[in-house]
Structures are given as structure tokens and as C-alpha cells.
Amino acid sequence: GENVEQHPSTLSVQEGDSAVIKCTYSDSASNYFPWYKQELGKGPQLIIDIRSNVGEKKDQRIAVTLNKTAKHFSLHITETQPEDSAVYFCAATTRESTDYKLSFGAGTTVTVRA
Amino acid sequence: GAGVSQSPSNKVTEKGKDVELRCDPISGHTALYWYRQSLGQGLEFLIYFQGNSAPDKSGLPSDRFSAERTGGSVSTLTIQRTQQEDSAVYLCASRAFYGGVYEQYFGPGTRLTVT
């Protein structure tokens, strides 16, 4: 099955700086890579995703890059704000199946210092 | 509209007791997933329901775990003879099942503590 590794496990950044989280995956058939943000006491919420036919996707201060050859993908948050503090999870699945069971990384706890 | 809801939000139970966790998916979403989130860990897939098809139970950790989905909507995850290692947050997610849609919407979870 798919194995997703995520680094770092914790990340502390100064407000206004950038944050980068990296994930690797093992199954070359995986082709859909979502990122979730989980705030305290809440369920994970999708913030951005990328599919294997693109290498980069941006949405305001958030961007995700994908390197299929190396089997890794990254989340970039620019101009971090206190509300970006949360746990972030990467995930992977293959769209060829119809179940889209997600394999998750272990999560990164991001703390933005004011 | 309403999102995915789960109940109870917190459950404390004694070792050996049975527990039932409930998930109400988004109306119209035919795909439903259960995940388990242990402290400091990522989300672990447990079970998947899609319409009237047989569920994919491949992630259930033992035969003490079972789940059902009635009428293609509400789902119940049952853990029998709970053990301390069952303590975790149990998350439910639902997804609209039509081509090109992949996003899973998560509920707030049920925090289970087995004493």
C-alpha cells in the first residue's frame, strides 16, 4: 500500500516568514495529493490539492509543488499569519480507483509567532 | 448547508465496554469513510462505504471493530470490548460520488478515551 512520510513534525516560524512542509510517497500510481489543515478540536479541512498532470498550484498565500519523478510534494505558505497556526496533513491516493482512500502523513504542527 | 456531524464529541468509557460512534454525512454524499487519529499520528483509514456496495473493511484493526450504514446515510462505528489502545479521535468523512470529485469533507471527530 501507499506510505506517506511528512517532515518536519513541528515548525515554528515568525509571522510574515514562509513555511514549507515536505512529503514523500511510495506508490508511483498515486496521482492526487491533497493538503488538509486541522485546527484544535476540529476535523481536517482541505486547503489545496494537486493532481499529477500539473507541477505547481497556487491559491493566494498557499502553493503546492509536485515532483512525480522523485515522488515528493510540498506545501508552501508565504507571509504567514497567526491564523495559519494549525496541524497540516499531506495525503495521497490514486484516482484510478473509485474509492479514493487517502493515505496520510503524520502531520506537521505549525506555530506562527507574533 | 450542514457539514458532516459526529456524535458524541467526547466519549469516556471503561475498558471492556462497547461503544457506538455516529456519523451524519453531508446530504447527498454517497461515499463515507471512517478514519482513526491517534495522538501525534496521521489519519488511519478504517472503513469505506459507497452506496449499496459492500463496504471496504480493509482498514479495521481487529474484529472488535465494525460499522454499518443505514439507508445510505447515517453510519455507526461500533467498538466492542474496548481496549486502552483504542483511545483516539475517530473521524468520519463524506464525499460526493461522481466523476472528477475527490474532496472528502471531515466531521469534527469523536474523541474516545478508554480508561
Q: Which of A6, A100, A109 to mutate to test the interface with B (most CBs of B within 10 A)?
A: A100
Which residue from A minimizes the CA distance to B92?
A: A43
> Does residue A21 carry a pLDDT above 80?
yes
- 10 Å CB burial of residue A54 (0-12, 13-18, 19+) is exposed
Q: In angstroms, what separates the C-alpha of A96 from chain B's closest C-alpha?
A: 11
Closest by alpha carbon to A93, among A4, A33, A25, A6? Answer: A33
Q: Is the pLDDT of residue A82 over 80?
A: yes
pLDDT tens for each residue of chain B, 115 residues long: 579 999 999 999 999 999 999 999 999 888 999 999 998 778 999 999 988 888 999 999 999 999 999 887 999 999 999 999 999 999 999 987 666 667 889 999 999 999 9
Contacts A102 to B, Cβ<8 Å = 33, 43, 45, 104
Cβ contacts (< 8 Å) between B54 and chain A: which residues? Answer: none
* Nearest CA-CA distance, residue A103 and chain B, Å: 7
* Buried-state track B46-83, b at ≥16 Cβ within 10 A, e below 16: bbbbbeeeebbeebbeeeebebebeeebebebebeebe
With 0-12 / 13-18 / 19 or more C-beta atoms within 10 angstroms meaning exposed / middle / buried, residue A27 is middle
B35's CB contacts (< 8 A; 6+ apart) are A104, B43, B44, B45, B46, B90, B91, B92, B93
Chain B residues inside the 8 Å CB shell of A93 = 102
